[in-house]
Amino acid sequence: MNRFAAFAISFAAATLLSACVFAPPAGSSNAFDADAMAKNSERALATCGAGNVREVNAKSFSCK
């Protein structure tokens, strides 16, 4: 009985810990937008200057 219980527990743990990754649909607003990222990168460099950009994402940017 102990072997069966140990096997059942390890199987359940392995099943529960194997993460399922769900990618968002291609048209989702959460999907990575390379064009928006490139445009914001250019805007950030023009606004902040080289070396003064703190963060750039698809929606905005921030300067140091």
Per-residue confidence in pLDDT tens, the chain, 64 aa = 688 888 888 888 777 666 566 665 666 555 567 788 888 899 999 999 888 989 988 888 899 8
* Cα three-residue angle 43-36-55, rounded to 5 degrees: 55
| pLDDT value at residue 2 | 82
Q: For residue 25, tell me if it sits in a domain.
A: no
Which pTM value belongs to this model? 0.49
Specify if 44 maps to a domain.
Answer: yes
Q: What's the confidence (pLDDT) of residue 37?
A: 85
Residue 8 within any structural domain of the chain: no
- Predicted local confidence at residue 1, as pLDDT: 60
pLDDT of residue 47: 92
Domain count, the chain: 1
- DSSP annotation string for 7-64: HHHHHHHHHHHSPPP-PPPTT-TTS--HHHHHHHHHHHHHHH-TT-EEEE-SS-EEE-
Contact 40, 60 (CB under 8 A): yes
